[in-house]
Amino acid sequence: MNPQFWWYVSRAAGVIAWAAVAASIVWGLAASTRITAGKPTPAWLIDLHRYLGGLAVTFTALHLWGLGADNYVHFGWSETFVPMTSPWKTGAVAWGIVAFYLLLAVEVTSLMMRWLPRRLWRGVHYLSFGLFLTGTVHGVAAGTDISNRILLVSIVVGIHIVLFLTIVRILAPRRGGTRPRPVAVPTTETPRRQRVGA
């Protein structure tokens, strides 16, 4: 086996995890705004949003597993889960650890959405933006593939799409935010004529 196998696994899994987070945010923003011309959100759009979130968790776990299995840099429990303890790119790794905890918070509360107050769930779900930010900083600062032009262009494009949809989300009203207009009910009664004169 190639001695760098787990290092390659960790790098690839980290890139896929970032892409899944970015795509999940894009789909979530598309579903929560009127970008679909006011039509009801298709069920597949919500399902895809949830699927991408689960995919991000899976590949983040694989990313961490690869780091632990690789023998080039030692990543024990503290280096993997406690910020500022890694001797290798300390600050960059800390951003990734923060992103990991934000991802866990968003995913766990999403799975428990039925049992949580709506305001609490929504507040934690907004941490997705912080997750995207910290994950991006981690990938750029710690990633060894940032010199790859395709990856760099993908990151820049992903940032711009998320930024654009976030602005649309802020400026456009939410789905269900407007009350329906009252509809006039037709009646069969004819109005009485007023008597004129005495």
Angle between helices 5-32 and 127-142 (to 10 degrees): 150
Per-residue CA distances from 62 to 11, 86, 99, 169, 183 (Å): 10, 19, 15, 32, 55
pLDDT at 43: 77
- State both tokens at 64: 């961490």
pLDDT at 184: 47
pLDDT at 31: 79
pLDDT at 179: 41
Q: How far is CA 106 from the centre of its chain?
A: 8
Find where tokens 């011309």 sit.
37
Burial of 165 (0-12, 13-18, 19+ CB in 10 A): buried
pLDDT at 180: 40
pLDDT tens per residue, range 51-110? 999 999 999 999 999 999 988 788 999 999 999 999 999 999 999 999 999 999 999 999
pLDDT tens per residue, range 136-195? 999 999 988 888 899 999 999 999 999 999 998 888 755 544 444 444 445 555 555 544
HSE (side-chain half, CA atoms, 13 Å) at 115: 4
CB atoms within 10 A of CB 6: 18
- pTM as predicted: 0.81
Per-residue CA distances from 15 to 62, 82, 121, 138, 166 (Å): 11, 21, 27, 11, 22
Angle formed at CA 106 by CA 135 and CA 56, multiple of 5 degrees: 50
Give the three-state DSSP class for 185.
Answer: coil
pLDDT at 169: 85
pLDDT tens per residue, range 13-47? 999 999 999 999 998 888 777 655 556 667 777 88
pLDDT at 71: 81
Sign of CA dihedral 9, 89, 60, 62: positive
pLDDT at 181: 43
pLDDT at 41: 63
